[in-house]
Structure 1
Amino acid sequence: MRKLLPGGCVLLILLATSVAAAGEREAVVRNIYLSDHPNNTASEVYVTGRVATVLHFEKACDSQGTRLLGWEGRFEQPVVGGMSVLLVPLQNLEPEDRLPLLVKLTDGTEVPFIVTAREGAGDQQVNVFTDREASLAVHAALSDALARERALREENARYRKEETSPDHALASLLVSGSTKQTPFIENQKWVLRDDGVEMVVRVYSGKAKAAVVFHITNRNSEQQWRLMEARLSSTTTGEARPFALRMDRDSIAPGASGRFAVVADRSAFKSDGGFTDLALEFFRDDGLRQGYVLLDHRLARE
C-alpha cells in the first residue's frame, strides 16, 4: 500500500502583492525608476573600460553638486551638461569596485548611485525617472515590458523545441491530463482565487521525482494571462535548481483556462550532507509573483 506524505510537508502561499524583477537581462540601454526603490537606496550603474556611459534625467543637472568619489586615475573627469552625466572609465572595473556617485538636479533633488561592473556588457545609457507616473516614464515602462515579453516568448519557444528530457515528457503528460500514465501520486490539492485568477494546484509525489500542476482560469474580463517565468531554488542557499516545465498554451484568454506543469528530479533536492527543500515560484507577465510552493524533499521518494 502506498503512503502519502502528511499535509504539513507541502505549503503553498498565493501572493498578489509581491513584485519581483524576474530574470533581468544584460542591456546597454536601461531604465531606472527611482520610485521603485526605498528612500536613500543607491541604484547601481554598470560601466565597461573605455566605453562611455550616459545617465539621462528628466531635469537639468547641477554640475557643482554632482560628484563621483574616487574617479581620479580610474575615469576621465565626469562631464555634467544639461540633463545628462557622462562617465568614461579608463579601464575595466571589478564587481567589488563600488564608487559612490551623487547627482544633484537643479531643483535640489539628490540622486545616489553606485558605479560598478558586472559580467557581460555595461550600460551605455541609463534613463533615470524620478516619477514612474510621468508620461515619459510610463512609455519607457511599457517598452520595457514589451521587450521582456518578446524575449521570454522567444526563449519559451526555444525551450519547447529543444528540451526533450524524460522529465519534460512527464511534464507533458501531466499538463495534458494524462496523470495515470505517469508514476505520480497526488499529495495535495488547493483551490485558490486571487487578483482575477482562479487556480487549482496539485502537488504530486513520485519515484525519485516530484511534480506540481497549476490549472489556471483567467477571470479578468479584459487581459490575457501569461506565464513570464518559473523558478526553483533551494530554501537554504537560494541556489537555482533544474526542473522541467511544460505549458498547454502560451496565454490564457479572459474566461478561459490553461495548465502548466513542473517536474523536479530527486537530484535537484540534494545538498551537502543530505537533502534540502525547494521553493517553486512563478511570475505572470507583468512581473507579479502569482504563486509560491514549498516542496518537501520527501515528495521525491526513493
Structure 2
Amino acid sequence: MSEVDLPRRQAGPNPQHLLLSILGDFWPGSTAPIPGAALVALLQACGTTPDGARVAINRLVRREVLIRTRHGRTSRYHLSQAVVAGGVAGLPRMMTFGADSAEPGWDGTWILVTVAATTDQAARRSLRTRLRALGFGMLSDSVWIAPSTHRDAAVELAAASDVPVVVVHGTVVHPVTGGVLDTLTTWPMTEIRGDYEDFIAAHRPVIDRARRGEVSPDEAFGLRVRMTDHWRGLYRRDPGLPSEVLPPDWPRARAHEIFAELYDRLGPLAEFRCAQLVAPHTSPDTPPPRHYTIGDGFAALTDRIPRPR
C-alpha cells in the first residue's frame, strides 16, 4: 500500500506539523514554491527556533512531503502533489468535524474488517495504522470495527491493501449481555475526552479577547496555527463515533464551537501577519497567503486538487 510518509504526532507542537498547518491554512491546494527563508520566518512566529525550523524543513524533504527546488541561490519548497491532494480532500471534513450539522446519519449497523494472517509484519503494521486513522477500533488482533458510516473508507482500504482483508456489514450484539457494543472499551474514549477538555481549556479563554479585538496580528497568526494543529490531532485521534453511542455530555461539539469561532475570527489578522512575515523573502511570482473560513472556501478547493501522477 503506497502512503505518504507524514511525521508522527507527538505531545505538544511539532515544527513539522506546524509547517503543514501553515501551508494548508494559507496556501491550500497550492504547489507553488515558497522560499525557505519565508518558511523559517513563519515557523519562528509560532515559537520555533531558526535551527529547529530548518531541521523540520529538511525532515519533510526527506519524507518527500516537501519538494525542494533551486532558483538561483535560493532554495524553494512546495508540498508534494500527493500531500496536497490528500490534505485538500480532507479539509472540509476536518474543519466541520464535531459540528452537529456535519454528522452523517447512522443506521445503527457496523462495519467489521477482518485481517488475514500474514508473515509480512510491515504490511500488517501499515494496515493497522490506516485502520486506526480511519476510526476503526480493535476487537481482537485481526478484527476491527467502525460504524457503517465508515463503509466506503473500509472498501477502499480493502481494495488497496497488501494484506487480504474481508469487510462485513451488519449489527453487533454483545455475546454476554446481549446489549450493544461498549465503545468505551473498544476505543480509548477516556483519553479522547481528556484531549477535548484540554483543547477547551487551552482555547476558550481567547474567545472573549478576540471578540473585543484585543488580539494582535502577531498573536493571531501563532494562535491560529497552533490551534489548527491541535484540532487536526483531535480529528485524527477521534474515531468519529455517532452521537447515539456517545455519552450525552461528550465534549466534541463544544470543542468544535470554540475552534470554529476562533478560526474564523482570527483569520483576517493571521493572514495580514502571514503576508508581513513572508514579504521580505518572496518574489512577485510567489502566491500571497489567503485565509479561509470554515463556512466558505474549503469545499470549493476540492474542485481544483492537483492529482498525483
Alignment TM-score, normalising by the size of structure 2: 0.25
Q: Which structure has the highest strand share of the two?
A: 1
Say which structure, 1 or 2, has more relative contact order (CA 8 Å, 6+ apart). 2
Over alpha carbons, which structure has the higher Rg? 1
Larger helix proportion of the pair: 2
